[in-house]
DNA sequence: GCCAACGTTGGC
DNA sequence: GCCAACGTTGGC
């Protein structure tokens, strides 16, 4: 069992969308390190959804689980998509997607400030300077600490 | 293989 | 909207 944190922009695909869809495709990852994490995901892995780029509501918003392991991200071949990658071909599939299932939405937004103040997250990559990874691993301890905060009212 | 230029991310 | 930090590209 592995634990992850996955960033999304809530206006593109946030917790509200996933809650509605129940199972959603996590695509558009265009960073090799993040892609490699995507490829190492297993069915049943736990993941925290994190909303980024929000003026008021940046932070962890809920829990997901991995429903389908990595497969070629269809948006890389879609000329209409903003994620289209001219260098991707059927023989050279550069990018991967997974499917995630909605588990629950936090009752409380866990903001960056809150997370910075949590001893359990001292070494979390999310909080390190200049961190830009959109998919990153968490320890069970880090994951549990965020969920506990999120479900406290 | 180095590295300058450029593009992107994401907090503020 | 700004800009620091980091990743990628491409000339050499």
Strand B bases contacted by the protein (CB, 7 Å): 8-12
What is the sign of the dihedral through the CA atoms of A112, A115, A116 and A117? positive
Q: Count other Cβ atoms within 10 Å, centred on residue A81.
A: 14
The C-alpha atoms of residue A80 and residue A66 are separated, in whole angstroms, by: 27
Tokens representing A54 are 């929000």
Closest nucleotide to A133's CA, by C1' atom?
Answer: B9
Q: Which of A108, A100, A145 is CA-nearest to residue A126?
A: A145
pLDDT score recorded for residue A54: 66
The number of C-alpha atoms within 13 Å of A112 and in the hemisphere containing its C-beta is 15
Q: Residue A90 — pLDDT band, cuts 50, 70, 90? A: confident
Residues belonging to chain A: 153
- Indicate whether A103 pLDDT > 80: yes
Check whether residue A132 has its CB closer than 7 Å to nucleic acid strand C.
yes
Q: Residue A86 — pLDDT band, cuts 50, 70, 90? A: confident
> Which residues put CB within 7 Å of chain B, the nucleic strand?
A 7, 30, 52-53, 55, 58, 112-113, 131-134
């Amino acid at each position: 069992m592995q634990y992850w944190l996955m960033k999304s922009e809530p206006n593109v695909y946030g917790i509200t969308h996933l809650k509605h869809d129940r199972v959603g495709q996590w695509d558009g990852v265009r960073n090799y390190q993040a892609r490699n994490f995507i490829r190492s995901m297993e069915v049943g892995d736990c993941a925290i959804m994190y909303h980024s780029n929000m003026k008021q509501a940046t932070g962890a918003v809920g829990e997901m689980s991995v429903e389908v392991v990595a497969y070629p991200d269809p948006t890389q071949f879609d000329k209409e998509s903003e994620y289209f990658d001219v260098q991707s071909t059927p023989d050279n599939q550069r990018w991967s997607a997974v499917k995630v299932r909605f588990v629950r939405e936090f009752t409380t937004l866990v903001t960056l400030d809150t997370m910075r103040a949590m001893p359990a997250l001292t070494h979390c990559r999310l909080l390190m300077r200049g961190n830009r990874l959109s998919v990153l691993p968490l320890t069970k301890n880090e994951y549990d600490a965020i969920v506990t905060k999120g479900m406290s009212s």
